[in-house]
Structure formats: structure tokens, C-alpha cells
Amino acid sequence: MLYALLCYNDEDVVWGWDKKQDGEVMARLGVVRDRLEAAGKLGPSLRLLPTTAATTFRKSDPPLVIDGPFAETKEQLLGIYIIDVADLDEALQVARDLGEANPGGAYEIRPLAVYNAGSAEAVAKGVVAA
Amino acid sequence: MSNDLAWINAAISAARPQAVGALLRYFRDLDTAEEAFQDACLRALNNWPKNGPPRDPAAWLIMVGRNAALDGVRKRSRQTELPPEEKLSDLDDAEARAVDRIDASDYRDDVLRLLFICCHPDLPPTQQIALALRIVSGLSVKQIARAFLVSEAAMEQRITRAKRIVAEGDAQFETPGPVERAERLAAVAAMLYLVFNEGYSAGDNPARAQLCGEAIRLTRLLLRLYQTEPEIMGLLALMLVQHARTPARFDAEGQIVLLEDQDRSLWNRQMINEGVALIDKAMRHRRPGAYQVQAAIGALHARAATPADTDWPQIDRLYASLERLTPSPVITLNRAVAVSKVAGPEAALEMIAPLSDKLSGYFHFHGLTGALNLEIGRHAEARVAFDRAIALANTAAEATHIRQHLDRLMLDHAPAGQENAG
């Protein structure tokens, strides 16, 4: 079963980390990711830039373009993992492991309906930020 | 667990501007607000590891800080005891109600006010920066002193003096009107850019270089509160595209590496992407401003894979609009660099010649004059300009950079009988 782990956290906190703190959290998450990857359970994972960089397109008539995220919330959607696991229990275990590596916030665990890998070159190379 | 402690510290510093800003609105006194916040932080360190972090750390800290300060007043006047710690641990309901009451627009104005009082016109720029770092960012006096290369005692004194000036001023606690809000935003933006530049010009002093990250953090916060302000988007974008180059700006010996010589693979692509996204957003508003234009110039450099790919004609046009927005000889000087690429060094020299009076004490004027003269083989003029530049260098790295030009001139083109010139 494919699940999306939607990572919610306070972006003021996460984007306030200095380089060292960020590196430490990423290293701890990397351990969990490597384990999942070795077991063939990890699909794409991605980190989003802060909501200040976001634009929202409201499909109203006429459509509205609004600066900022879709919803103003205490915690923001900051990243996504796609995982392939047997059931919800296993998905929750992944969330637990990731949460231990990076405390604070929440993961929303959403089963996938459709998944297209797409063909964008940067996605195929797996280095969107570069 | 140390992970928890790291998270708590990060949550506290992220909540600080909002919490101190709200406490300042309650108590209308900076010292009381800071003490109340300090008190709340101590309780958070006790409470959060046991009960887990609250849903809204800022609201928690405001509630607890306010209660603690009020208790302090009561205790001093009636000698009653503080409530037991357990009473504070179950704040969830109260916290939720408080969040409802303190709506987003209050928070916005609180943070803006807190930043704005640091922009007091009687405070010189360095004191504005020190005050903002102390009360908004919550850096310790020791950290700030290290960034400014002064003793802790001297910095303590400076900050105390700055606080007194702020306290004597009439800080406005009423909700600002639109015009006043816009003025405050502009003053705060300028102050945040000062913080950034203090870090950016620091060379390889890491204590000062961290000010860039701090300025970015605060500007991001400001933009989150004022999502539709193109100039705040522009300011953040400008900081990001400049800061993205930091890993390439100095070599292993701490010497400046010029833009055209930098290893572009060291540039932070994530920061550049964020900056470019922000400029795209800002441009849609069609309300150009100095930060947006400067950010757009920075982004054109960032987008060029090699120096030869740089879109100099477009940079020249952007500098021309910057000259219109904020006329200044320094901007004309910067434009001259673009002009030298588009129309040649002679045209650039012609452009900056009228600036020689106004910029006679400016390092970069003489540095550029020297470089342009060198390019067209006027070595004597180049040397005179470089000699002036070196005398005006602000950092050791700047001086070394000019010294290298001079050394090369001496070696390659030592003019007979002129060794002692200049």
C-alpha cells in the first residue's frame, strides 16, 4: 500500500534552524530514510520551501492569485515522503521513527489513490534543489 | 532527551518575537516584557519535557509570562505565594481560548511594534542592530559583543543606553493605521537590511556572519505576517540571493573572491530558488521598489551558469531604474560595472568621473577606477587609484585584494623611475 506522509511543523522553528542544527536533523532523518530505502519501502521524498515563497491559485470565477499558502495554520506542510508499506501499523511505525529523529509537529498519513512519477528532468535526477 | 531540548530551544526562539511583542503590549514596558518572557521560558524548560510541547508555543509563553509577571507584582505588593507549578501544566484549554482572543492581526502589529522600537531615530545604526539582536532575536549580550568585536561590558552598556532611549520615546501602543503601518514596515525593513549587511560585510568572522541568517529569519517572519508586501518579498529575496554566495565569497585564507572568480557550484541553490520564487511573486504586484530591483539584479547573477552568461544589458537597465527610484552616487558606481561590460571600460570611466568628489572617501570608487584603468592599460592611473583604495579599505580582506592588484602591477609593468609614486 502506498502512503504519503505529509510532514507538518512550525516553519518558523524549522526554517530558524542554523546550518548545524539542520544538518543534525537531516542526518538523523537520513538514517531512517536509508533503512527504508534498503528495504525497498521508500519512494520520492521532498522538502518544501517556506510558505512565504508560496502562491495560491483560487479556482474561483474569475480565478484569484493570492500570495501565501492555501491555509494559514499553526503548523505548515513542509515536506512529503511516499512510502510503500504493508498497512497503517507499519506506516505509523515509520512516522514514529521519523518523529524521533525530528521531534515537533505532526505527520498526516494519507493512503495514495494515484501516483505518477512524471518525467521532469530534475525529478528523474532526484536533485530538484540543485 | 537532547533532541527534545534542541526542539524546545528552537521553539522558544521562534516564538520569541511574537511573545515578547505581545507582552510588551500588555505591560508597555520593555524590561517587564523581557523579564516576563524569561520567566515563561524557565517554566517551559521545566514543563515541556514532562507534558510535551504545547500546540502553540507563543500563546503558551504569552499566557505564562503574563501570569508570572502579574504574580510578581502581586507578590511584591502582598507577599502572597506563587501558584504551584502543577497549576501551570494544564494550560491547554486556557491556551486555546487565548489563541482565539489574540487574533492574527494583533500578533502582526505586536511583532512589527517590537521591531519598530529598535528603529528609534535617535539610535545610530549599530545600536539599532544591537538592540534588535538583543530583544527581538534574543541573542545574549556576549554573542552580540563577539559579533561587534567589543567587550561584553561595553556592549551591555550600549544596549542599556539604547533601551533607555527607547523607553523615553513615546512608543505607540494603539493599533497603527495603514499609513503608519507602511512607514513602520519601511523603517523595519531598512533596519533588517542593516543587520544583514553587518553580517555580510563581516568577512569570515563567524560570530558576525551569523547575523545574515538572523536577518533572513526575521525578514521571513515579517513576510509571513505581511504576505502581500512586494518590498518585503524583495528584501527577503535580496538577502537570500546574496547570502547564497557566501560559501564562495572567501578562499581558504579568508581572502575575498570576486563574483566573476567564484566557484558557482558552491552557491546555495536552495536559497537562490527561494529568492527567485519571491522575486517572481513580487513582480506580479507591479509596485517596484529598491529591494525588488536589487534582488532582481542579484538573481540575474545567480542565474548565470558562468560569468560570461551574465545578462549585463538587463542588469544595466535594472540599475538605471534603481537610479530613478533611489538616486545615489553609489548606485551609479555599481551601474558603471554593468556599463563597462556592455559599452566598455572607457564608457564606465566617463560615467563615474563626475562622482569623484562625492565618492573621494569611498573604497569601491577607487577600486573600480583602478580596475577600469588597468583594463585599458592606463597603469599609472590604475596605481594611483589602487593606492587610494588601499588606504580606505574597511577590512583586511579588501586591503589584501587591492594589494594583489598592486603587486601584479609592480611585477608586470614596473614603470622605470616611478617606484615611489603615489
Residue B222: is its pLDDT beyond 50?
yes
Q: What's the pTM? A: 0.87
Q: Residue B43 and residue B67: Cα distance in Å, rounded?
A: 12
Report the chain B residue with the minimal C-alpha distance to residue A15: B217
Question: Do B274 and A50 make contact, defined as CB atoms within 8 angstroms?
Answer: yes
Q: What is the pLDDT of residue B398?
A: 83
Q: What is the pLDDT of residue B203?
A: 66
Minimal C-alpha gap between B222 and chain A (Å): 10
Residue A5: is its pLDDT beyond 50?
yes
Q: What is the pLDDT of residue B76?
A: 66
Residue B240: is its pLDDT beyond 90?
yes
pLDDT class of B283 with cuts at 50, 70, 90? very high
Residue type, position A18, single letter:
D
Please identify among residues 71-110 of chain A the ones whose CB lies closer than 8 Å to any CB of chain B.
72, 74, 100-101, 103-104
Question: Do A21 and B10 make contact, defined as CB atoms within 8 angstroms?
Answer: yes
Spell out which residues of chain B touch residue A14, defining contact as CB-CB under 8 Å: 10
A10 touches chain B (CB under 8 A): yes
Question: Do B57 and A130 make contact, defined as CB atoms within 8 angstroms?
Answer: no
Whole-number percent of chain A with pLDDT over 70: 95
Spell out which residues of chain B touch residue A11, defining contact as CB-CB under 8 Å: 224
Name which of A16, A72, A129 is nearest B10 (Cβ-Cβ). A16
Cell of B213: 541568517
pLDDT tens-digit map of B299-330: 999 999 999 999 999 999 999 999 999 999 99
Model ipTM value: 0.90
Higher pLDDT, B421 or B128: B128
Spell out which residues of chain B touch residue A74, defining contact as CB-CB under 8 Å: 55-56
Residue B100: is its pLDDT beyond 60?
no
Please identify among residues 35-54 of chain A the ones whose CB lies closer than 8 Å to any CB of chain B.
49-53
Residue B416: is its pLDDT beyond 70?
no
Residue A4: is its pLDDT beyond 90?
yes
User: Which whole number is the average pLDDT over B164-192?
Assistant: 85
Q: Residue B369 and residue A39: Cα distance in Å, rounded?
A: 62
User: Which whole number is the average pLDDT over B255-265?
Assistant: 90
Spell out which residues of chain B touch residue A52, defining contact as CB-CB under 8 Å: 220, 223-224, 227, 233, 236, 278
For chain A, the distance separating the N- and C-terminal CA atoms, rounded to the nearest angstrom, is 31
Interface A:B, Cβ pairs < 8 A: 72
Q: What is the pLDDT of residue B2?
A: 57
Question: Do B270 and A49 make contact, defined as CB atoms within 8 angstroms?
Answer: yes
Q: What is the pLDDT of residue B157?
A: 94
Q: What is the pLDDT of residue B309?
A: 95
Residue B367: is its pLDDT beyond 90?
yes
Among the ranges given (A61-65, A101-105, B412-416), the one the predictor scored with the smallest mean pLDDT: B412-416
Q: What is the pLDDT of residue B24?
A: 92
Whole-number percent of chain B with pLDDT over 70: 88
CA distances for B110 relative to A112, B8, B51, B103, B174, angstroms: 42, 23, 28, 11, 10
Among the ranges given (A66-70, A73-77, B273-277), the one the predictor scored with the smallest mean pLDDT: A73-77
pLDDT tens-digit map of B105-151: 778 889 999 999 999 888 998 899 999 999 999 999 998 998 888 89
As a whole number, the mean pLDDT across chain B is: 87
As a whole number, the mean pLDDT across chain A is: 92
Q: What is the pLDDT of residue B1?
A: 46
Q: What is the pLDDT of residue B256?
A: 81
Higher pLDDT, B87 or B362: B362
Residue B15: is its pLDDT beyond 60?
yes
**Structural domains in chain A?**
2-124 (3.30.70.1060)
User: Which whole number is the average pLDDT over B199-217?
Assistant: 84
Q: What is the pLDDT of residue B44?
A: 93
Residue B94: is its pLDDT beyond 60?
no
Spell out which residues of chain A touch residue B3, defining contact as CB-CB under 8 Å: 28, 100-101, 103
User: Which whole number is the average pLDDT over A88-101?
Assistant: 96
